[in-house]
Amino acid sequence: MGAPMYARLLEVMLKQSTLPDDFTTWDDAEEDADTFDRFREFVVADLFDNAYCVLRGQYLSIIASALSSAKNWQAAESGTFALRVAAEPISEELEESTSAANEAETFLAQMFSTIIEHTADNAGLFSCHALVRAETCEMIAAYSFWLGRKTATLEEHAALTRGILMYVTAAFPYELAWRQAANAFKNICARCARQLKDPSTFTALLEHTERCIASVRPNFDNPDERDERTSVMEGLARVIARMPIAQASQASARIIAPVITKCKLFAAEVASTSAPAGPEASRA
């Protein structure tokens, strides 16, 4: 198939991979969640991957147009999905010095800047619904390689990286986006540790992350469900691992300080409840 056919197919399949306009939750939906996810993640994702390899910059233009004309959050979510699944061929494109690579570079810079603008705007394109935030965080994780590329200067991407982390941590309180946000946080920290290991930068990141994660209410009703806070801690640990030894020691002490404090409080509480109650308890 040629480019015109792939362009048309991309537009059609984008609509087919969009949630219904009246979608609220999977409990109330006519379609099964697993069936829809398998369709998107295997059938549509593979097709979109091939479409990018044929269309290159035109693929990004089509998705950008779909996002800019999105009439509801469902369309915004599917457009974001289409950007995520093209991450692998785009990463390969960026290794080459081609006009398509320059287009992708410019597009990613603009896209991430727009995401940052929508951090606290619940009506923004990338923040208008919890499921949009979830898909956006998945997309951010998929493109974390771009934020941390060695070919980019610290000055070029440092501010952008911090801004994206603000978006990701802002998604922590949303139950539907918590897992994806925690994973994106880990990926960014791993890829961009050299941009985040500066003492003042890391301290600000740690304090901000602690405030955001405090609002998370993990659900332990399902014994098989992972506590995503471990992903956040792993991300911070990845940054610490890139620090000089003295700085890493201080940062490690800072990151485990809340845990030690809670352990001490728990130990004191246990000691107070198990201590003898008075003379009669002593004679006993």
177-194 per-position pLDDT tens digit? 999 999 999 999 999 999
CA pair distance 166, 164, nearest whole angstrom? 5
240 CB-near residues (< 8 Å, 6+ apart) = 197, 202, 248, 251, 252, 255
Residue 239 in this model has a pLDDT that exceeds 90 = yes
Residue 60 in this model has a pLDDT that exceeds 60 = yes
pLDDT tens-digit readout, 217-238 = 777 666 667 789 999 999 999 9
CA pair distance 216, 231, nearest whole angstrom? 13
CA pair distance 68, 20, nearest whole angstrom? 19
Nearest 5°: the CA angle 224, 227, 232 is 150
The tokens describing 17, both together, are: 């991979």
Residue 58 in this model has a pLDDT that exceeds 60 = yes
The tokens describing 138, both together, are: 């998945």
Give the confidence band of 271 by pLDDT, cuts at 50, 70, 90.
Answer: confident
Compute the half-sphere exposure of residue 123: CA atoms within 13 Å on the CB side of its CA.
0
Residue 278 in this model has a pLDDT that exceeds 60 = no
* Average of per-residue pLDDT across 39-55: 95
pLDDT tens-digit readout, 113-151 = 999 999 988 889 999 999 999 999 999 999 999 988 866
User: So what's the pLDDT on residue 131?
Assistant: 96
Give the confidence band of 284 by pLDDT, cuts at 50, 70, 90.
Answer: very low
pLDDT tens-digit readout, 87-112 = 999 999 998 888 889 999 999 999 99
Q: How many whole angstroms from its chain centre is CA 158?
A: 17
201 CB-near residues (< 8 Å, 6+ apart) = 158, 162, 195
